Structure 1
């Protein structure tokens, strides 16, 4: 951890620094692989689009892999990438520890390696990562509840996938935030939604059915897609406006749901900034112009009052 201590930088500063170091004349078509945890959800689809734009700006060849939410497939994909002679690697790990053996092979090859959106643990050496502060983001979701429902609230929480560092960290932040609000804020249900809209909708329906007559005042969801699923459950059961929905990931469909009153707020974690910073840093390392460092992006809450501050706000205009 000592090695990374100086790396907890404001991402905006690092992006500016890297931009100043980058010179188009030095571009020579390096091959960089980006392995996404999944390309079936809007968050990573948008990251993919941004990675393609950044690769074009850097004049590198981008190889994209979809782990399909499988640690086994992701490990195999990483190993296969090594045989293709790539120059650098950016990975969004499916599991906080499950990918360690495969990434150890990358480290042994001295290949520039950065994880994005999530960290990895258990590797032979620390792997720098670019991600939003998910613990802080979890607290923001809980703090919205404790701030806006001042008389106290019964809260349900739909988390992500077991083993994911983002799910672990967001859950930690939610628990800390609710605890800070005091005993009048009660967590009445907590279940996994696996990052999936349909799964979260089913989970929310089950929670609301089990609490018929006394529904939770708020449902906190660890992703935007799950927030949309929970919002659909709330709407279909005639509880819109009575049960507040809070989520994480401010992409266009979620922003529209905020504007329409289906979702109260969502944490913005700047996916474009994350993937562009990670990719640029990896390429700059190959070119000898930068060191790999951990970068923490500070999240913030987006509500109807500050909708225009969301990274993808222009897409809903």
Structure 2
């Protein structure tokens, strides 16, 4: 977790350089090193995201420390499974010696991962799983998303005094990581807080704007009945927060989000966001590359490498900003 301190830099703006066809970026070698280093590919769910930019920073740091060249390539939007599959094919064609992959569809990426294994290329899955057995890849490095959803349930339950109605704004379908968060949230409420009911939940297109629209729809359809809201990742959480603001419900409808963003941190400061369950994207990127390098060297790696999440609220916001700025997107 402490490596997130190393990544405490201002996150680069995602701008017009991220072409709609996706991003392919070769990370340059440190000065004085030979350019003919072995090449690995890191393929995120999407490149047009501050969260994945921090993953890139962690992956880049590990590749430099361990003596590898890194290609950062993937679709712009996390919903574009076809472009991510093409990024896998392009990486294979570049004769990479290892692949780190954050699948944006648990089902659609099964065949590409099986192809990687057939070709004898070590592959580490990060962030979100696939619908394949652990024999299909070398290791899986990710937040314990079910446990994170459970933490979200407990924080929201505390905010609404253990009773009431809540809604869930979800990400896109077949995203294993965010589905696990929603499931952990619901199962924990059912088991530990029987007086809290989930009265509505809605998938989105995975963008801030669609998250806002879908959350507004849920709130308007259940007007006057919603006490709390859980949102499952960064763009959806930002969109959901904008929705409760636009409807004049900020502070009235208690909100717990997943992942960090400066907008959401401001919401905590204002008392309009009860808590955030925060991952460590820098560490996810770093460990993904470290594990694939171990696999390339035929050294044993764990099939599962859990990376703890953190909880941010008003009581520890200042401390968390100081200790984990990269994880908070600062």
Shorter-chain TM-score category? 0.7 to 0.9
Structure 1 unaligned residues grouped into runs of 5+: 1-10, 13-24
How many Å separate the matches in 2 of 1:107 and 1:72? 19
**1:242 Cα deviation from its structure 2 partner:** 0.3
Aligned partner of 1:225 in structure 2 is 235
How many Å separate the matches in 1 of 2:272 and 2:294? 43
How many Å separate the matches in 2 of 1:312 and 1:182? 33
Answer whether contact 1:265 1:301 (CA < 8 A) is retained.
Answer: yes
Residues 201-280 of structure 1: matches in 2 within 5 Å?
201-212=212-223, 214-280=224-290
2:117 counterpart of 1:85: no
The verdict on how the C-alpha distance between 1:55 and 1:151 changes in structure 2, with shifts beyond 3 A counting, is closer
**1:157 Cα deviation from its structure 2 partner:** 0.4
Given the two structures, how large is their TM-score scaled by the length of structure 2? 0.82
**1:83 Cα deviation from its structure 2 partner:** 1.2
2:109 counterpart of 1:108: no
Q: How many residues align?
A: 295
For residue 29 of structure 1, give the secondary structure of its aligned residue in structure 2. Answer: coil
The verdict on how the C-alpha distance between 1:89 and 1:270 changes in structure 2, with shifts beyond 3 A counting, is same
Answer whether contact 2:41 2:72 (CA < 8 A) is retained.
Answer: yes
How many Å separate the matches in 1 of 2:91 and 2:133? 18
Aligned partner of 1:58 in structure 2 is 66
Greater helix share, structure number: 1
Aligned partner of 1:33 in structure 2 is 41
The verdict on how the C-alpha distance between 1:29 and 1:262 changes in structure 2, with shifts beyond 3 A counting, is farther
For residue 96 of structure 1, give the secondary structure of its aligned residue in structure 2. Answer: coil
Aligned partner of 1:8 in structure 2 is none
How many Å separate the matches in 2 of 1:172 and 1:271? 21
Aligned partner of 1:305 in structure 2 is 315
The verdict on how the C-alpha distance between 1:314 and 1:290 changes in structure 2, with shifts beyond 3 A counting, is closer
Residue-by-residue CA offset, 1:56-97 (whole Å, 9 max, x unaligned): 222321111123332222122212211111011000001112
For residue 304 of structure 1, give the secondary structure of its aligned residue in structure 2. Answer: coil
How many Å separate the matches in 2 of 1:256 and 1:229? 14
Structure 2 unaligned residues grouped into runs of 5+: 3-32
Answer whether contact 1:157 1:220 (CA < 8 A) is retained.
Answer: yes
**1:290 Cα deviation from its structure 2 partner:** 4.7
**1:272 Cα deviation from its structure 2 partner:** 1.1
Answer whether contact 1:91 1:114 (CA < 8 A) is retained.
Answer: yes
**1:102 Cα deviation from its structure 2 partner:** 1.0
How many Å separate the matches in 2 of 1:73 and 1:266? 31
Match of 1:183 among 194, 201, 216: 194
Greater displacement, 60-69 / 270-279: 60-69
Aligned partner of 1:15 in structure 2 is none
**1:123 Cα deviation from its structure 2 partner:** 5.7
The verdict on how the C-alpha distance between 1:146 and 1:223 changes in structure 2, with shifts beyond 3 A counting, is same
